Amino acid sequence: QCLYQFLAFVPPSDRSLRKPGTAAVTVDTQHPLTLQLNSSGGDGELCKIQYHFGEFGNYSLVVKTLSTSTSAVSCNLVINEGPINSYLPILFAFLVYTGILAVLIIGRLLMKIDPVRNWVYKKLNPRETDRLINSEFGSPNTTDSVSSDPTPRLWSTASRQRLRSLDTFRGLSLIIMVFVNYGGGKYWFFKHESWNGLTVADLVFPWFVFIMGTSISLSLSSMLTWGSSKWKVLRKILWRSFLLILLGIIVVNPNYCLGPLSWDNLRIPGVLQRLGFTYLVVAALELLFTRPGAESGTLETTCPALQDILPFWPQWIFMLMLEVIWLCLTFLLPVPDCPRGYLGPGGIGDFGNYPNCTGGAAGYIDRLLLGEKHIYQHPSSSVIYQTTMPYDPEGILGTINSIFMAFLGLQAGKIIFFYKDQHKQIMSRFLIWSMVMGIISAVLTKCSKEEGFIPVNKNLWSVSYVTTTCCFAFVLLLLIYYLVDVKRLWSGAPFFYPGMNSILVYIGHEVFENYFPFKWKMEDSQSHAEHLTQNLTATTLWVIISYLLYRRRIFWKI
C-alpha cells in the first residue's frame, strides 16, 4: 500500500539513428517491486510489471510500441546477468564455526584418554594444566565433576548454585544482539523489520527482557531466603534501575555521533533505559506482593497445580490493567490529523494518506511528552516508507508491553522455583505457556503479517509482538534447560560466558563499535562476505573477552 515513487525518466528513442532511449537505475532487492511505466504524453499507465530482483543482477525492461497508430506497448523483462548467490558467505561461515567446534570437541575427548592426558601433563606446567582441565570451558563446574551422584542436584541453599541454562539463554540473546547491532553481514533478515513483521533481529531484545524477568524471580527469592529485608532489597532495585537508566542516557547514546552530548538533542529513551524502568516495575511488583513462604517455594494453595499463578493474582490484575491502558491509548487516543487507532508507518505507506502519523498514538505521546529532538531520529520505517517524522522504538507506550514481557519471564522463573527438581513439570509448563502465547498471537494477527487486529510490530512493541516472541522464548528456554541443566549434554559454552557478563559485553560493544579490531575499512562495502567477516570477528572477540573475564572471575554486576 505504498505510493508509487518516481524512479527514472526514459528519454524518447532517436529514430534516425535507430537508438533506443535508455535509463539506468538501481532498485531494492529485499522486497518484490512493482514497476509502472507511465506515458509522458499524459495517457497514463502504459504497463505494469511485478518482480523480485536479485542482488547484483542486471536486468532490462524492454518497452516496444506495438503500433504507430495506438499507444499500446509491450513490456518484457530481460535478465542480462543473473543475480549472485548472496547466501554463500553464510554457508562458508557456518562450515568454519562447525569445524572449530568439531576440533574443540575432539580435543576434549582426547583429553579423557590417559596416555594423551599424561603427555599433555608432561608438556605443560602441572599447575597450569590442572587449572585448564578443571576450568568450566565447555564442562560442568568442579563441584559437579567430583560428585558421585549420577543426577547432580540443581538446587542447594548452601551453594546457591546458578542455573546455567538461564545464563546460556541470556548469552545467546546477547551475542545475537551484538552481531545484529554490528551489521549482521548486511543481510535483511539480520536487520529490524521496517514496520510489521519479524526478523531474527527483532527477537533478541524481547528475549533479553524475558530472561531478565526470569532472573528477577529467582534472585529476589534467593535474597529473601538469605535474610535480606524487603527495604534493603527495594533499595537495591532502585539503585540498579537508576544505574541502568543513567548508563543508557550518558554512555550508550547514539547522539555522540553528532558530537559532544547536548541536552538540545539528547535521546532520552533507549535500550538500557527501557531495561532499567522495566526492571524497576517488575521487581518492585514482585517484592510488593511476595507472600510469606514464597521465598522458600512452600506456598499453600487450594490448587497445587497452579501454585505458581493463583497466589499472585494481584500481580496479574495489575498487568491486565496495564494492557487495558495500552489498548485504550493505542486505539482511542485522538491524534491530530491521524485516524484513531492508526498502527501504520506513515510516510508513503497507506497510499500516503497519513504521512506524519508514524506510529499513531505511540509516536504522538513521545513527541508530546519528550519532544521531537529527544527521541530517535532515524527509525527503521524511514528506509522503505520514507518517513520524515522521528519515532522511537523504545518509547513510552511500548514500555508497557516490555513490562508485560518481563512479567511473563518472571512467570518462567516462578515455574522453575516452585517446581524445582521436577523437570517434567517445568518443561511441560514451559510448553503449555508457549502454546497459549502462540494461540493468542494467531488470534491477534489472524496468522497474517498485515491483516490482523494487532500486527506483530517491534517498533510499536505491540501485544502480538510480545506474545509471539514470548512463545519462541518459552520454547528456546525449554530446549536449553533440557540440554544444559537436565541432561547435562551441553555446558552452555560459549554463550554461557557473555551471559555471565551481559552488562559489560553490551556496553562494551556499543562503546568500542567503531574501534579496531571490531571494525576496519573494507575493500568492497557492497560485499556480504566482507561485512559478515567483520561482524562475526567482532562478535567472536566479545565471546573470547567474556570467556577470559570468566576465567579470571571478573564480573561487572549492577
pLDDT, one tens digit per residue, over 119-175 is 777 776 555 545 544 444 434 443 343 333 333 333 333 334 578 999 999 999 999
pLDDT at 297 (0 to 100): 54
Which residues neighbour 185 within 8 Å (Cβ) at sequence distance 6 or greater? Answer: 89, 90, 528, 531, 532, 535, 536
Decide which of 185 and 140 is more confident: 185
Our CA angle for 308, 311, 312, nearest 5°, is: 85
pLDDT at 251 (0 to 100): 83
User: What average pLDDT score do residues 70-83 get?
Assistant: 86
Question: How sure is the predictor about 304, in pLDDT bands with cuts at 50, 70 and 90?
Answer: low
Least confident segment among 13-22, 167-176, 319-328: 13-22
Query: What are the start-end ranges of the H helices in 361-462?
Result: 361-369, 381-384, 396-418, 423-445
pLDDT at 262 (0 to 100): 75
- Say whether pLDDT at 426 is over 80: yes
pLDDT at 139 (0 to 100): 40
Taking the CA of residue 190 as centre, how many other CA atoms within 13 Å lie in the half-sphere pointing to its CB? 20
pLDDT at 159 (0 to 100): 35
User: What average pLDDT score do residues 18-26 get?
Assistant: 87
How remote is the C-alpha of 445 from its chain's centroid?
A: 20
**Checking phi first, is residue 352 left (phi over 0); if not, alpha (psi -120 to 50) or beta?**
left
192 is catalytic: yes
* pLDDT tens readout for residues 230-259: 899 999 999 999 999 999 988 877 766 666
- Say whether pLDDT at 535 is over 90: yes
d(C-alpha 379, C-alpha 372), whole Å? 13
Our CA angle for 16, 21, 25, nearest 5°, is: 165
Sign of the CA dihedral with 381 first, then 382, 384, and 386 last: positive
Cell numbers of 32, please? Answer: 518484490
- Identify the three-state secondary structure at position 107: helix
How remote is the C-alpha of 123 from its chain's centroid?
A: 45
Question: How sure is the predictor about 325, in pLDDT bands with cuts at 50, 70 and 90?
Answer: very high
d(C-alpha 331, C-alpha 334), whole Å? 9
The residue extents of the domains of the chain are: 1-84, 87-116, 164-179+195-290+306-485
pLDDT at 51 (0 to 100): 92
- Say whether pLDDT at 388 is over 80: yes
Cell numbers of 152, please? Answer: 547432580
Which residues neighbour 20 within 8 Å (Cβ) at sequence distance 6 or greater? Answer: 13
Round to the nearest angstrom and report the end-to-end CA distance of the chain. 46
pLDDT at 70 (0 to 100): 65
Question: How sure is the predictor about 294, in pLDDT bands with cuts at 50, 70 and 90?
Answer: low
d(C-alpha 536, C-alpha 183), whole Å? 10
Among 31, 192, 423, 528, the active-site one is: 192
Cis check: omega of the bond before 339, within 30 degrees of 0: no
Q: What percent of the chain has pLDDT over 90?
A: 59
- Say whether pLDDT at 223 is over 80: yes
Question: How sure is the predictor about 383, in pLDDT bands with cuts at 50, 70 and 90?
Answer: confident
pLDDT at 153 (0 to 100): 39
Q: Which value, in Å, is the radius of gyration of the alpha carbons in the chain? A: 28
User: What average pLDDT score do residues 391-403 get?
Assistant: 95
Check: CB of residue 286 under 8 Å from CB of residue 216.
Answer: yes
d(C-alpha 249, C-alpha 450), whole Å? 34
Please provide the average confidence, as pLDDT, over all residues in the chain. Answer: 86
- Identify the three-state secondary structure at position 138: coil
- Say whether pLDDT at 465 is over 90: yes
